[in-house]
Amino acid sequence: MVLNRRDYETLLALSVHALEGDGTESSWPVLLRTLRGHLGVEAVTLTRIAGDRSRPLAWAPGGVAAGRIRELSRASMRSGHPLIGHYREVRDPVPRTAEDLAGFAGWRDSAARSVARRHFGAEHVLGVPCTLPEGPSGVLRGCVVYSATRFSPAQRAFVRRAQPLLAAVDAHERMMARVRERAGEAVPYRAREYGLTPRELAVLTLLGEALPAKTIATRLGISVRTVHKHVQNLYRKLGTKDRVETALLARSAGLISPSAPPR
């Protein structure tokens, strides 16, 4: 299905907002609020599931109490939600509705549907995976869209097109959190002094771990070509000529951890 001009304008706005984020403030509240408004749905959440525990990370509408969202998350886990079971067991990157997985009758009569209806007045739920788990015990992160009406082909096409962006934002924010954890909360501000973008700082951190371009691309959800472009920008801005010199300068300048082990 062909996306219209408004769809592309929304995706562009989401991309610009996400790429400008330096990790000091999460992009997710704005992203989820934009998605909810564009799709015309009741709610959108970002949830992390590890083992038998789930934790809501962000949601729209933002005025909903955190306790209510946490209860929704716990109740969905207890109800055996088909989306949770599917994405934990199958490495399936495709956005799917609960009805796709459970069938019309199975979803209509399920406890999980009752949970969605009770909390948001939603009859239909769509899962959009951002991070798939490595095995049943791994961490699953993704967006969940709640709608009072069945998702249209246009809505599903938009979500499918937006999914790579959401996955990239998820990878970027997790990477920036790791940067701050290892090198300190002040590192985004030091990066600005060198004119580094948040994306370049993320690449620089992984470069300091001696990771190849392909691995860096996978970690950040970008192409290898884009990684090489960021590396060249780093050389230019830092006045260096190769990876080793760049990593040494970055450590001495406090841009990356002086003892960051390869991962």
Same domain, 56 and 162: yes
233-247 average pLDDT score: 93
Question: Structure pTM?
Answer: 0.78
Could you tell me if 116 and 189 lie in one domain?
Answer: no
Task: Tell me if 196 is assigned to some domain.
Answer: yes
Task: Give the Å distances, CA to CA, from 30 to 38, 58, 87.
Answer: 12, 10, 25
**Domain end marker among 145, 175, 205:** 175
From residue 52, give the alpha-carbon distance in Å to each of 75, 80, 138: 12, 11, 11
Q: What is the CATH number of the domain that holds 229?
A: 1.10.10.10
Q: Which of 175, 198, 226 is the last residue of a domain?
A: 175
Mean pLDDT, to the nearest integer, of 226-252? 93
DSSP code per residue over 60-123 = ESTTS-HHHHHHHHHHHHHTT-HHHHHHHHS---S-EEHHHHH-HHHHHT-HHHHHHHHHH--S
Pair 139, 161 in one domain: yes
Query: What tens digit of pLDDT does each residue of 170-180 get?
Result: 887 887 777 77
110 and 61 in one domain?
Answer: yes
Is position 259 within any domain?
Answer: no
Question: 157 and 215, same structural domain?
Answer: no
- Domain that residue 121 falls in: 5-175
Q: Is the pLDDT of residue 153 over 60?
A: yes
Provide the 10 A C-beta neighbour count for residue 225. 10
Q: Does some domain include residue 257? A: no
Sorting pLDDT into bands at 50, 70 and 90, what band is 263? very low
What's the whole-number mean pLDDT along residues 215-240? 90
**Of 140, 175, 210, which one is at a domain's C-terminal end?**
175
Residue 90 has pLDDT above 60, yes or no: yes
Same domain, 142 and 14: yes
The residue-averaged pLDDT of 139-163 equals 93
Residue-level pLDDT at 34: 87
